[in-house]
């Protein structure tokens, strides 16, 4: 109704229904922070995952490191912590192999022998998943490798699991196969080192005993050349027998001379001949006895030195036998403690790309953003309430 009392027609702009576009714009404006914080990032992540992210294939292998008798190996160098925790030497070696497969050394070997860098830079791989740089540094390559390759040792079963992620089924399979080969090489290196450590002391003792025995043999040879006698002990016994025989003959001749002295005259030819014979025997006894003792070059001195050398030789022979037995025992123990890498599950050739886990990642992002939005909404609502 206007100022003159007449009714004015209604404005058509006020009575018409809002269009769908206007409703959508109004809803977007009213929920603009929800769309900016939750919906838009989730859509971007979903577009990346389903339209851009490269497929990754997983190849898995299991292996077991055990000794020849398949029992835990006691080690003299095992720590008290190992004994308290129940982790044996065999497990220690298995864990060391698992650790080696994710080390700089393993990555360098794969890079040199298995084209590791090229496998992680296949054409078509998205920027967030690929390995950057045509010649990446060892540190960058190791970080990327540890993201793509997982090696886990199970302390309960003793089984080590290898999981390899790459961008083609063949690459995942080849890398897993190469890692098993590197593990076998590492076990062989550990066996060689353990074998050398086990027999090193025994071998050194045997070498020392052999060298001492050889030195004693050289000393005995030099003595025989110097004395001109192969066996002074046998020579001394023979010389003693000769002196004993001459002494017996001398005693018999003296007894005969005493008997003759009461019968014939000392001036008789028979008496004189027997006396001369006695003097000759006495001279021979004195000469032969002098060879046994009484001079610097006597047989007694040679026999004493010879017996000393023979006693030392007997001792060194026993020492050599003990060292040889210890070496053989050390070899047997080293063989018993030899480790083997047994493949429990060979690497599989993947058929379907299981990674990235798109739905799980998208759901995780959505839930996280909803939590962030909810926390922010609660904070803003609390501030407005206090401000009012």
Instruction: Please report, in angstroms and rounded to a whole number, the separation of the first and last CA atoms in the chain.
Output: 40
pLDDT digits over 14-70, tens only?
556 777 676 767 766 778 888 899 999 999 999 999 999 999 999 999 999 988 765
DSSP codes joined into one string, 5-70:
SPPPPPPHHHHSPPPHHHHHHHHHHHTHHHIIIIIHHHHHHHHIIIIISPPBEEEEEEEEEEETTS
Eight-state DSSP code of residue 12:
H
CA of 110: how far to CAs of 64, 177, 262, 290, 370, in Å?
A: 21, 11, 116, 85, 43
Q: What would the mean pLDDT of 331-356 be, rounded to a whole number? A: 89
- Count other Cβ atoms within 10 Å, centred on residue 380: 11
Which tokens hold the place of 354? 């299981």
Taking Cα atoms as reference points, which of 270, 244, 246 lies closest to residue 259? 270
Task: Please state the domain extents for the chain.
Answer: 30-53+362-388, 55-204+337-358, 207-334
- Count other Cβ atoms within 10 Å, centred on residue 281: 19
pLDDT surpassing 70 at residue 138 = yes
Lowest-pLDDT range of 33-42, 197-206, 284-293: 284-293
Q: Who wins on pLDDT, 117 or 247?
A: 117
Mean per-residue pLDDT of the chain: 81
Most confident of 177-181, 284-288, 319-323, 377-381: 177-181
pLDDT surpassing 50 at residue 383 = yes
pLDDT surpassing 80 at residue 327 = yes
- The predicted structure's pLDDT at residue 86: 42
CA distance 363 to 30: 25
Taking Cα atoms as reference points, which of 161, 171, 44 lies closest to residue 102? 161
Q: How confident is the model at residue 300 (pLDDT cuts 50, 70, 90)?
A: low
Q: How confident is the model at residue 291 (pLDDT cuts 50, 70, 90)?
A: low
pLDDT digits over 337-347, tens only?
788 899 999 99
In sequence order, the 6+-apart residues with CB closer than 8 A to the CB of 249 are 281
3-state secondary structure of 264: coil
pLDDT surpassing 80 at residue 113 = yes
- The predicted structure's pLDDT at residue 3: 47
Q: How confident is the model at residue 91 (pLDDT cuts 50, 70, 90)?
A: confident
CA distance 349 to 352: 10
3-state secondary structure of 112: helix
User: At the topology level of CATH, where does 55-204+337-358 sit?
Assistant: Bacterial polysaccharide co-polymerase-like (3.30.1890)
What is this structure's pTM?
0.65
Burial category of 26 from C-beta neighbours within 10 Å (exposed 0-12, middle 13-18, buried 19 and up):
exposed
């Amino acid at each position: 109704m206007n100022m003159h009392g007449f009714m004015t027609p209604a404005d058509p702009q006020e009575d018409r229904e809002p269009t769908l576009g206007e409703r959508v714009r109004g809803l977007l404006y009213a929920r603009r922070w929800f769309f900016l914080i939750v919906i838009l990032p989730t859509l971007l992540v979903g577009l990346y995952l389903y339209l851009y992210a490269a497929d990754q294939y997983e190849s898995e292998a299991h292996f077991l490191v055990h000794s020849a008798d398949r029992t835990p190996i006691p080690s003299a160098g095992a720590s008290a912590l190992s004994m308290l925790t129940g982790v044996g030497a065999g497990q220690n070696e298995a864990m060391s192999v698992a650790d080696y497969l994710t080390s700089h050394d393993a990555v360098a070997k794969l890079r040199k022998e298995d084209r590791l860098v090229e496998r992680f830079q296949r054409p078509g791989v998205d920027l967030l998943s690929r390995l950057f740089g045509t010649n990446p540094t060892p540190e960058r390559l190791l970080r990327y490798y540890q993201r793509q390759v997982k090696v886990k040792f199970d302390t309960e079963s003793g089984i080590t699991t290898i999981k390899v992620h790459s961008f083609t089924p063949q690459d995942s399979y080849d890398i897993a196969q190469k890692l098993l080969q590197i593990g076998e090489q590492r076990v062989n290196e550990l066996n060689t080192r353990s074998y050398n450590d086990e027999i090193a002391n025994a071998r050194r003792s045997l070498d020392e005993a052999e060298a001492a025995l050889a030195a004693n043999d050289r000393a005995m040879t030099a003595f025989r050349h110097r004395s001109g006698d192969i066996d002074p002990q046998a020579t001394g016994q023979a010389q003693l027998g000769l002196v004993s025989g001459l002494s017996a003959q001398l005693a018999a001749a003296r007894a005969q001379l005493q008997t003759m002295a009461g019968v014939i005259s000392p001036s008789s030819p028979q008496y004189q001949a027997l006396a001369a014979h006695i003097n000759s025997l006495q001279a021979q006894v004195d000469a032969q006895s002098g060879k046994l003792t009484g001079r610097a070059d006597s047989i007694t001195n040679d026999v004493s030195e010879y017996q000393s050398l023979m006693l030392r030789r007997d001792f060194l022979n026993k020492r050599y036998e003990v060292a040889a037995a210890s070496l053989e025992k050390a070899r047997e123990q080293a063989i018993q403690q030899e480790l083997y890498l047994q493949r429990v599950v060979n690497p599989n050739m993947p058929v379907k790309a299981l990674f990235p886990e798109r739905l799980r990642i998208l759901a995780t992002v959505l839930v996280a953003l909803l939590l962030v939005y909810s926390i922010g909404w609660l904070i803003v609502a609390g501030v407005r309430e206090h401000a009012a």
